[in-house]
Structure 1
Amino acid sequence: MIKAIVFDWAGTTVDYGSQAPIIAFQQAFESFGITVPTAEIRADLGLDKLDHVKKIMAKPDVQDKWREKHPNDSISQAVDQIYRRFQKEIVQKLFEISKSGVGKLRQTLKLPSLYWCAAVVHSFSRADDIFPTS
């Protein structure tokens, strides 16, 4: 008898190919007038997301774009602002993607004495918005 099921959501069950963080990074940077190519974002997807923002912002061309668009804000401030924006974007992207059948799967698995666990690597505080428990 099956007693438990464990899913790795991010990059597999919910977001195969890890498109959500790529789109969220692009939107976060673009909201400040900076375009970052998909290949540059994908190159370091395994990093902690704050470290990922720092690594992108360490590139001279990205710093030049930031200073051109936001001359009164430091690179440190850029990292903080872009990371905060990324956190909002990733929650929204995962919420949009999660509507693609995860709820039906969750209802199907709602059997007596069956436990399930979702493992994610994104840091966000509103997981219930993305993966509702009801």
Structure 2
Amino acid sequence: MKLILKLEELAMWILSILLLYFAKAEWWWYALMFLGPDVSMLGYLVNNKVGAWSYNLFHHKGVAAVLIIAGIIIVDNNIFSDLIWIGYLGLMLFGHSSMDRFFGYGLKYENGFKFTHLGKIGKSAKDE
């Protein structure tokens, strides 16, 4: 991945960390950001199609944005104020997706884990 794209993803990762901080999220949201969404890889135990679908659901920035917006609406309108975690969840997913893309892991294609929208990942990708 080009350096400029990596820097962009790094900036979004840092932004999500700062937004969690300013939103006064508990410490465990930061820990969850690093590995939490990767539980979606369990879909690959079924097959590549289910794996790609579940992985992409948990790593799609559009899903994260919807959750962030829902969290803002809920908090601003004092609707179920105990649901502030929805916005935190969105920030965590957004940050994790940015972190993954910074390290070269993109959304998955159905033909296998190492086939992503950023290109093929792994040792064999460098050899080709």
TM-score w.r.t. structure 2 length? 0.31
Higher relative contact order (CA 8 A, sep 6+): 1
TM-score w.r.t. structure 1 length? 0.30
Normalized per residue, the structure richer in helix is 2
Larger radius of gyration: 1
